């Protein structure tokens, strides 16, 4: 088993990895930017190393600094989390050259599957349905215009590297193509250090369904069913659940087998996700492979009983997946709400400031993967994700009720969050029926509906506000930790 793992990430996912590492008696090393020096994950790690600069390119995307910290800490492995360097083949290769295990696929596998254009080629070779479009990055907007003319608008511009909705633009007409391509390339470069963009036909109002896979170095590959991730805005997921309310056992088996075939073809190892779009006729199309852990992995953990980070650590140590495909059993229903620092009343604009008070929800089968604490400064340097609230129950209806209650318990003061949107979704009849598509936010959370909800929110603001006693309790709180040994060494 691994002895010491450096986590090349921040926030709630760093805390998530630390927990599983400690349960396996593996020491956890964190890295942090100056902005993150008071973060919970820094204090919960066994050792922490400071990086230079707050911008991603000056910190968590700086491969040289990350590898320096891994060597200084004598880590024998690096867990990349998600985002940042998690799907960077060059970083995986550099890690291997440094004699350190990269907890994820080999560089050539990331290059084949993490690169969206190459993954499309593999899918087409295996006969997995794909939307029409290019299999090479675009060289110019004129080339994009020729492709769009051939396949028809609307089209989707997508970053070839990375994921998480970054570097993506829907284009409905030729007049918007050049500016959209420029913005997509700029965002891709900023997020992944790679500005390559390709184009595919945009499928209107599909469901977004993804299949979780695990693969080890002993040629064992399994899938763990699907997650429904259709509720999105700007291609960023807001609500996820497992299983999907639309998949039949036959379709689940077919999509699962297609996902397994894809990762087998690329000689995959570790945890990964194969994403699909499903249209209103039940036909599915390959979208992409995320060669990393997904933000929404906890809903799969709830319905399968597996710890996916533990599986990653065991696989990276040379061990086998803990179960076989025949042993995979999907039990009950799980829902995840992403708590983002965003103002839902102003188009989900980022909300910056200092968190002055947090009240976490509790109860049976309620999980809160959170980076929140009193005094947390929310800046514009990084992603707006603050916390992930996840629940499980025996049926979808009961899971919705449990999530609604948990959202009512959760309080965050100091910045606006997406908690009210989560409550709106749980009450929404379209969601309750399971009648979902990626157009859910646009259709169900229109300006008129939003304004009405805002009026209702203001009317009950007195009763829903944090109580005086809560604030008194807050002022008396003292954070008690077993602190990390923070290194005084700084990369230069």
Catalytic residues: 292
Q: Report the distance separating Cα 249 and Cα 328, nearest Å.
A: 13
Gyration radius of the chain over CA positions: 22
The sign of the torsion formed by the CA atoms of 445, 449, 451, 453 equals: negative
Bridge partners of residue 213, in order along the sequence: 223, 272
The sign of the torsion formed by the CA atoms of 373, 18, 482, 363 equals: positive
What are the contacts of 300-303 at 24+ separation with CB within 8 A?
300/212, 300/224, 300/225, 300/227, 300/242, 300/334, 302/242, 302/332, 302/334, 302/365, 302/367, 302/390, 302/392, 303/225, 303/242, 303/243, 303/330, 303/331, 303/332, 303/333, 303/334, 303/392
DSSP string, 405-446: HHHHH-EEESS--SHHHHHHHHH-HHHHHT---TTHHHHHS-
Q: Report the distance separating Cα 161 and Cα 270, nearest Å.
A: 19
**Closest to 419 in 3D by CA, of 367, 342, 335:** 342
**Closest to 154 in 3D by CA, of 139, 140, 169, 165:** 169
Q: Report the distance separating Cα 457 and Cα 465, nearest Å.
A: 10
User: How many beta carbons lie within 10 A of that of residue 478, not counting itself?
Assistant: 4
The sign of the torsion formed by the CA atoms of 308, 311, 316, 322 equals: negative
Q: DSSP letter at 384?
A: -
Instruction: Compute φ and ψ for 115, nearest 5 degrees.
Output: -80, 115
Q: Report the distance separating Cα 349 and Cα 119, nearest Å.
A: 33
Q: Please, what is the angle between helix 447-459 and helix 419-427, to 10°? A: 110
The sign of the torsion formed by the CA atoms of 239, 445, 342, 403 equals: negative
**Closest to 225 in 3D by CA, of 236, 241, 238:** 241
User: How many beta carbons lie within 10 A of that of residue 6, not counting itself?
Assistant: 31
Cβ-based neighbours of 80, under 8 Å, separated by 6 or more: 8, 9, 86, 88, 91, 102, 103, 104, 292
Q: Report the distance separating Cα 488 and Cα 48, nearest Å.
A: 9
Asked if residue 375 lies in contact with residue 354, where contact means CB atoms within 8 angstroms, the answer is yes
């Amino acid at each position: 088993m691994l002895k010491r793992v450096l986590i090349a990430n921040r926030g709630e996912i760093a805390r998530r990895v630390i927990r599983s590492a400690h349960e396996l008696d593996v020491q956890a090393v964190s890295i942090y930017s100056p902005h993150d020096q008071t973060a919970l994950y820094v204090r919960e790690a066994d050792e922490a190393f400071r990086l230079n600069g707050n911008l991603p390119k000056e910190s968590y995307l700086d491969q040289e600094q990350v590898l320096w910290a891994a060597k200084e800490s004598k880590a024998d492995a690096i867990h990349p989390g998600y985002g940042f360097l998690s799907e960077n083949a060059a970083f995986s290769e550099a890690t291997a050259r440094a004699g350190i295990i990269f907890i994820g696929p080999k560089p050539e596998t990331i290059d084949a599957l993490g690169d969206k254009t190459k993954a499309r080629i593999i899918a087409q070779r295996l006969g997995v349905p794909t939307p029409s479009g290019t299999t090479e990055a675009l060289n110019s907007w004129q080339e994009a215009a020729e492709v769009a003319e051939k396949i028809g608008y609307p089209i989707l511009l997508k970053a070839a590297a990375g994921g998480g909705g970054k570097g993506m633009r829907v284009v409905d007409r030729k007049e918007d193509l050049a500016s959209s391509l420029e913005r997509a390339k700029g965002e891709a470069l900023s997020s992944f250090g790679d500005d390559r963009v390709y184009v595919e036909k945009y499928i209107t109002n599909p469901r977004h369904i993804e299949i979780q896979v695990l693969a080890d170095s002993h040629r064992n590959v399994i899938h763990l069913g699907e997650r429904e991730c259709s509720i999105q805005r700007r291609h960023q997921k807001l609500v996820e659940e497992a299983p999907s309310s639309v998949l039949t056992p036959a379709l689940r088996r077919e999509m699962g087998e297609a996902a397994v075939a894809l990762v087998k073809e690329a000689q995959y190892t570790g945890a990964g996700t194969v994403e699909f779009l499903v249209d209103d006729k039940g036909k599915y199309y390959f979208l992409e492979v995320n060669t990393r852990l997904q933000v929404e992995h906890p809903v799969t953990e709830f319905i399968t009983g597996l710890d996916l980070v533990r599986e990653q650590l065991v696989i990276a140590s040379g061990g086998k997946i803990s179960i076989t495909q025949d042993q995979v059993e999907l039990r009950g229903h799980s829902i995840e709400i992403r708590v983002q620092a965003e103002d839902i009343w102003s188009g989900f604009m980022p909300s910056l400031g200092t968190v002055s008070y947090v009240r976490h929800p509790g109860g049976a089968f309620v999980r809160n993967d959170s980076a929140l604490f009193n005094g947390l400064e929310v800046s514009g340097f990084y992603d707006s994700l603050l916390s992930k609230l996840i629940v499980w129950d025996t049926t979808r209806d009961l899971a919705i009720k449990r999530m609604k209650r948990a959202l009512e318990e959760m309080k965050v003061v100091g910045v606006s969050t997406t908690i009210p949107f989560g409550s709106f979704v749980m009450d929404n009849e379209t969601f309750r029926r399971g009648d979902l598509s990626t157009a859910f936010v646009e259709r169900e959370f229109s300006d008129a509906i939003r304004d009405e909800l805002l009026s209702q929110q203001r009317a009950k603001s007195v009763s829903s506000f944090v109580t005086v006693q809560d604030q008194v309790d807050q002022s008396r709180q003292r954070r008690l930790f077993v602190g990390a040994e923070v290194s005084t060494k700084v990369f230069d």
